[in-house]
A and B are shown apart, each in its own frame.
Chain A
């Protein structure tokens, strides 16, 4: 699996990408009130405490919303359009949502699931797949 922390990742975000490199979906959890937070940030939005631990998630989620992107788009996405982009809400706390793609198979492309087979509320499980470029990203399949 490609291991890479994106060049644009902020300091607080690096542990997320280190987790992805180990095929582990992790989210910050406040060490005082326990609330999860994502995207990564220095302070808890609930209790303002600065310290957090990176908690491994189960990788189970439900589909919160989705779009099907059609051209005009920029490369490398233009060539594979139309494709899906989804938002997944994690089981551990449905307020923790992540943008992703729905795949038909673990190494599949983001344009393989038919749009009429995508349903809000559908059960999801995380997979880790390569691209664009050398980046590995968390993506999703139906459970």
Chain B
């Protein structure tokens, strides 16, 4: 177990927006240099690089551009939005194992252009995980998750009210966060209930934004972190998680399709000093609102099938008294950068610098995408 032997010493991000003129490569380097500056670590000290397999900015480009030293650890993690926490987790394992001393994890992405969206692909593609779904018109991630969401609602008696709780809580957090794309755009329950459908039972506000932007984090040893510019945020636990019979996104073909990766990650995550009852704040991957309901159950923050009751009455809000979720606004209302903004917000919560700061939280759960092979971090102050 990692057990606080490593820490996130710096975080950095570019602004988020639509149709940013800057290249993904330049955005990546800006975020990384900002994170190094936040930590007070010189770029030439960087000897490890870790990102997503879907990242288009190559590790060699990053190393050249930031003026890194000799690199002794580089790695990429697969499965799109499932990768985020594991880029930090792999960095932490590399530092803990002595393979590198200053590792940068990052994600840079431009998704706001309509031509960059999955449903706009010119060619009809039937990928490895789409052969048994796309020919029938189940084309987009929203359709794939909507199918599981409908089944979830049927099995547990959940309604759109539970999804609305998620969307409205996250929007309320974005309305307090000047960096959020939806900072100046309040959302009412009526707007939610009257929104256009994307894939029933999911409406527009159940689906994440499409954004351009980049983020980065710097991972070093506990000892090094204590000499850095900011208070260390320790990586208490890290888990990767892949149910043995999973089908990524279209998880309809196994015995228990609603047993998502968080059910697998929970065991490792809670094997340290913390238990689900200690979680006052969490950053949970939210490409679609139902993923948060799945994760609340998988991580044991509530019982299986109980998430709809658990979230009722604003319980996910920063001042809601239960578990504050996605306190920067998350992918639904801050920016969609493959979930890396959840990691940086987790760090801010542990530093005490969130715009929706949760008082007294000793640890923060950060979770990557449900419904694909994924990962999770438990950060502590």
Contacts and interface: CB of A to CB of B under 8 A. Distances in A.
Interface of A: 6, 8-10, 13, 38-39, 45, 64-70, 72-74, 77, 82-83, 85, 87, 95, 97-101, 110, 115, 120, 132, 135, 137, 139
B151 A137 contact: no
A74 B130 CA distance: 15
A38 B199 CA distance: 25
Given A65-B151, A67-B147, A77 B139 contact: yes
A101 B137 CA distance: 8
18 contacts: A8-B131, A39-B132, A65-B151, A67-B200, A69-B138, A69-B140, A69-B143, A70-B196, A72-B119, A77-B137, A87-B252, A99-B250, A100-B136, A101-B136, A110-B136, A115-B200, A132-B124, A137-B136
A95 B252 CA distance: 9
- Of the listed residues A8, A101, A132, the one surrounded by the most CB atoms of chain B closer than 10 A to its CB is A8
A68 B148 CA distance: 13
Contacts of A99: 132-133, 136, 138, 250, 252
B252 A64 contact: yes
A65 B253 contact: no
A77 B119 CA distance: 10
Contact of B151 (A64, A74, A95): A64
5 closest A-B pairs by CB: A68-B200, A65-B151, A67-B146, A70-B197, A99-B133
A107 B238 CA distance: 52
A64 B138 CA distance: 15
B131 to A, nearest CB: 6
Contacts of B197: 68, 70, 82
A74 B121 contact: yes
B126 A67 contact: no
Given A6-B131, A9-B131, 4 more contacts: A69-B137, A70-B196, A85-B143, A97-B252
Nearest to A64: B151
B199 A65 contact: no
Interface residues of B, number: 34
A45 B245 contact: yes
Contacts of B190: none
Given A6-B126, A73-B119, A74-B120, A66 B150 contact: yes
B199 A67 contact: yes
Nearest to B245: A45
A77 B199 CA distance: 13
A74 B139 contact: yes
Contacts, number: 97
A132 B134 CA distance: 10
Interface in B192-215: 196-201
Contact of B143 (A9, A67, A101): A67
B154 interface: yes
Contact of A137 (B121, B135, B196, B199): B135
Interface string B336-348: 0000000000000
B255 interface: yes
A8 B126 contact: yes
Nearest to A46: B255
A115 B252 CA distance: 21
Contacts of B138: 67, 69, 85, 99
Given A95-B255, A137-B135, A120 B199 contact: no
Contacts of A100: 136
Contacts of A70: 196-200
B132 A85 contact: no
Contacts of B147: 65-67, 85, 87
Interface string B96-140: 000000000000000000000101110010100001110111111
Nearest to B257: A97
A56 to B, nearest CB: 19
Contacts of A38: 253
